[in-house]
Amino acid sequence: MVTVAQVWDALAEIPDPEIPVISLVDLGVIRDVGVENGTVRVGFTPTFLGCPALEVMRDAMAERIRDLGAEPEIEVLADDSWSTDRITPAGREKLRDSGFAPPAPREAAAPTLVQLQSNVFRCPYCGSTETRLDNIFGPTPCRSLRYCTSCRQPFEQFKTI
Amino acid sequence: MRSLLEIADDELILGWRDSEWTGIAPLLEEDVAFSSIAQNEIGHARALYELVARTQNTTADELAFDRAPGEYRCSRLVELRLLDWEKTIARHYLYEQADAERLAQLVQSDDAEVSGLAAKIDREEAYHRMHAQMWFDRLKGEPRFNSALDELRPLLETGRDEHSEELTELWDEMTVVRRSQPAGTKW
């Protein structure tokens, strides 16, 4: 009989399809896990609704759960309950080590352009806050492009959601 | 209040129109921006269609691709194929403003699924609004941009019942793969 803890351990081994250094558990997108009569139910939130990795993540979770000998039931929760604040401290470290600046904390109001253009975002390479916004958008919906004027390195900044 | 289907159709069609700048935008950064915005809008459309589909015993794909062009509920503003940058930015600005208003209403919905989804969409749209505002501030003194705003503003809430030939052309393009396979095909 599979336990909730075993399921969490198995899900912690699934890498994010776009940033494989971080796992789905590090990313905080797994909201809850329930086990009942051989069925494992996972509540899962997409980071961004248009994330193309959604199906890949769902299939990977289902596969791991089947490997544990249980029947998966993955529920996608399209609500506002996930925020980038749910990325774990370990996840943030892994992102920074790979050159991605982790997201700033979420505030009650949405971020503004003035905030994004301010000097509070830290370069993941040299730690300087002398960084500028190059593009609100980036290679995936969850990231912006910034440039560090201190070490002259472009980098990707996670958007706050 | 706008129906969820109208909003979903607006987002799907605008997502397709925005994606037409992929590879050919006047600036590389805008190529990235409009491609990302397009992806978000289509993601919002999918989530909204899924909500609607459950109440109508159908699927998001059927709603998105299996209706005839005349059955779509999108506004004239989003269906236009705009080849001028100033018009694209004018549409982006007008649309994001109107979208923010209707999302603010949806967030107040008594239906927890609707209000939850609207809140999530709004978090993402905040970045679109910033982008639109940045361009508005950059172009607001330009006569071509101002005439584009004047020309497009009346189209925001027109054309939901009757569509232009441009929507049919887009529909032909966007449903071509789906129509090439019989119903029930698994991808």
Q: Report the alpha-carbon distance of residue A157 to residue A154 in Å, rounded.
A: 10
Q: Is residue B115 part of a domain?
A: yes
Q: Report how many Cβ contacts below 8 Å link chain A to chain B.
A: 78
Q: Are residues A69 and A30 in the same domain?
A: yes
Stretch A75-97: mean pLDDT, rounded? Answer: 93
pTM of the predicted protein model: 0.94
Q: Does residue A66 share a domain with residue A8?
A: yes
**CATH number, domain containing residue B70:** 1.20.1260.10
In this complex, which of B40, B46, B120 lies closest to A141 when CB atoms are compared? Answer: B40
Over the stretch A103-161, which tens digit does the pLDDT of each residue have? 999 988 888 998 898 888 999 999 999 999 999 999 999 999 999 999 999 999 999 99
State phi, psi for A41 to the nearest 5 degrees: -105, 125
| Section A39-63 average pLDDT | 93
User: How many domains does chain A contain in total?
Assistant: 2
Domain boundary among A44, A76, A108: A76
Contact A110 B122 (CB under 8 A): yes
Find out whether B106 and B113 touch, Cβ atoms under 8 Å.
Answer: no
Distance from CA of A70 to the nearest CA of B (A): 24
Residues B90-102: tens digit of each pLDDT: 999 999 999 999 9
Contacts of A49 in chain B (CB under 8 A): 40, 43-44, 46-47, 120-121, 124
Residue B35 within any structural domain of the chain: yes
Q: How many domains does chain B have?
A: 1
Residue at A112 is within a domain: yes
Picking from A34-38, A117-121, A153-157, B58-62, which range would have the lowest pLDDT averaged per residue? A117-121
Please tell me the distance from the alpha carbon of residue A108 to that of residue A29, in angstroms, as a whole number.
20
Model confidence at B75, in pLDDT bands (50, 70, 90)?
very high
Q: How far is CA A50 from the centre of its chain?
A: 14
Residue A16, domain member (yes or no) = yes
Cα(B63)–Cα(B178) distance, integer angstroms: 12
Per-residue pLDDT, A110? 86
Mean residue pLDDT of chain A comes to 93
Measure the CA angle with vertex B29, ends A29 and B64; round to 5°. Answer: 55
Whether pLDDT at B1 is above 70? no
Residue A54, pLDDT > 90, answer: no
Q: Which residue of B has its CA nearest to A137?
A: B33
Backbone angles phi, psi at A132, to 5 degrees: -125, 155
In a domain, A54, yes or no: yes
Query: Domain for residue A81, yes or no?
Result: no
Q: Are residues A14 and A63 in the same domain?
A: yes
- Using CA coordinates, name the residue in chain A closest to B117: A79
Does residue A49 share a domain with residue A113? no
Residue A119 has a pLDDT of 82
Residue A41 within any structural domain of the chain: yes
* Shared domain check, A72 and A10: yes
B46 located within any domain: yes
Q: Is residue B154 part of a domain?
A: yes
Q: What is the pLDDT of residues B117-176, one digit of tens each?
A: 999 999 999 999 999 999 999 999 999 999 999 999 999 989 999 999 999 999 999 999
Measured distance CA(B101)–CA(B12) in Å, rounded: 18
Does residue A72 sit in the same domain as residue A103?
no
Q: Which of B11, B31, B113, B130 to mutate to test the interface with A (most CBs of A within 10 A)?
A: B130
Q: What integer pLDDT is reported at residue B166 of this predicted model?
A: 96
User: CB A110 to CB B117 under 8 A?
Assistant: no
Tell me if B187 is assigned to some domain: no
The answer to whether the beta carbons of residues B121 and B4 sit under 8 Å apart is no
Q: Which domain holds residue B79?
A: 4-179
Residue A88 maps to a domain: no
Tell me which of A46, A76, A106 is where a domain ends: A76
Residue B58 belongs to a domain: yes
CB contact under 8 A, B120 and A79: yes
CATH number at residue A60: 3.30.300.130
A8 lies in some domain: yes
Q: Which domain holds residue A123?
A: 98-158
Q: Do A113 and B33 touch (CB under 8 A)?
A: no
Residue B133 domain-assigned?
A: yes
Residue A92 covered by a domain: no
**CB-closest option in A79, A111, A137 to B117:** A79
Q: Rounded to a whole number, what is the largest CA-CA distance in chain A?
A: 57
Region A35-43: what's the mean pLDDT?
94
- pLDDT value at position B186? 75
Q: Does A117 touch chain B (CB under 8 A)?
A: no
* A41 & A9 share domain: yes
Q: Is residue B184 part of a domain?
A: no
